[in-house]
Structure 1
Amino acid sequence: MTHSPSRFTGEVSENLSTEEKQKLRENFQTTGTNDNRITKIGKFIRKTSLDELPQILNVLSGDMSIVGPRPDTPVQEVDYKPEQWKQRHEVRPGITGLAQVSGRSNITFEDRINADLEYVKNKSFLLYLRIIFLTFYQVISNKGTN
């Protein structure tokens, strides 16, 4: 099942120019290794992936899938080529995906994009199950967390 890109990319982003999106992107921060904004409790929650549990509500409401490309914020659109952004939004975003089981936080941005696009192109029930299995392995072994 495919979805229109606007459903998952964010209405606000579509009304901004590329320059405005790039300016917003410059001020956008993601978390990294030893990020001083994360408390000890927060580190535990992230390391055990408990912070992902509330996304189950998004799955139940139909806005997300368990498996699919991790959702990006609308300002991150400037990090992609237009066709890549469109392709990765042909499927529902997921709690976990091929990029996460291919290295989680330890892969490059380019590798993450390639893994997301590979999932979109090769999406199947067996790949879905493989990603779920590998996700459990990653969480249990604490591999690739920051």
Structure 2
Amino acid sequence: MKRLFDLCLATIVGVPLLLPLLVVAILVRLTSPGPILYWSDRIGRRNRVFRMPKFRSMKIGTPAVATHLLADPDSHLTPIGSFLRRSSLDELPQLWSIFRGEMSFVGPRPALFNQHDLIQKRSEYGVDQLLPGLTGWAQVNGRDDLPIPEKVRLDTEYLERQSFMFDLYIIFLTAIKVVRSDGVAH
């Protein structure tokens, strides 16, 4: 049921977003050298690595670490990088990962391949058995501002409470957060 919902919603959302996706792609290309998409190695279900696309918001050569770990994150942003992140437009290519079955609309956000502490804690609590999500319970409860133990606590709560209605609630809260740019790091 969840997979069918993901495919239907990705199609319903994806078709009207084709033009905005094209516009963002052109803007990324025109405002900084390098590829339009950044393919990030992420940890998926059962701790398998997959390649997750995002519109590139950082300059070429930026270290592959969580943004909050960079000494001066602003210095790594492309001219439109801050806007892409605040608006969450950089996340739209992840619809591809949903179509491929590597992600869901709702689940724990996929960890970076080098976030060993987060990966280990999620594995301890069984969260690694979930398909990662475009959004999740931790996302709507703090996003980038949460320390790892709190993220894992919220991911575990999602694991225990997951249902179709809970997913719809999280999607609704996500829409509100995106409009307000709540909890976005740069």
TM-score scaled by length of structure 2: 0.61
Q: Please state how far the C-alpha of 1:107 moved relative to its aligned partner.
A: 1.7
Distance 2:119 2:96 in 1: 30
Tell me the equivalent position of 1:84: 122
Of residues 131, 139, 142, the one that matches 2:178 is 139
**Residues 16-65 of structure 1 deviation map (CA, whole Å, 9 limit, x = unaligned):** xxxxxxxxxxx852113961211230000000000110000110111110
Distance 1:95 1:4 in 2: 13
Distance 2:142 2:45 in 1: 29
Question: Please, which runs of 5 or more residues in structure 1 have no aligned partner?
Answer: 12-26
RCO higher in structure (CA 8 A, sep ≥6) = 1
Secondary structure of 2:105's aligned partner: strand
**Residues 83-125 of structure 1 deviation map (CA, whole Å, 9 limit, x = unaligned):** 6326112111100000100011122221111111111111111
Tell me the equivalent position of 1:19: none
CA contact (8 A) 1:9 1:89 kept: no
Q: Would you tell me which structure has more strand in proportion to its own residues?
A: 2
Secondary structure of 1:98's aligned partner: coil
Distance 1:10 1:48 in 2: 27
Q: Please state how far the C-alpha of 1:70 moved relative to its aligned partner.
A: 0.5
Aligned-pair identity in percent equals 35
Of residues 93, 99, 110, the one that matches 2:149 is 110
Tell me the equivalent position of 2:91: 52
Question: Please, which runs of 5 or more residues in structure 2 have no aligned partner?
Answer: 3-43, 51-62
List aligned pairs for 1:87-102, cutoff 5 A. 87-102=126-141
- Give aligned pairs, total: 127
CA contact (8 A) 2:111 2:118 kept: no
Q: What is the CA RMSD across the aligned residues, in angstroms?
A: 2.5
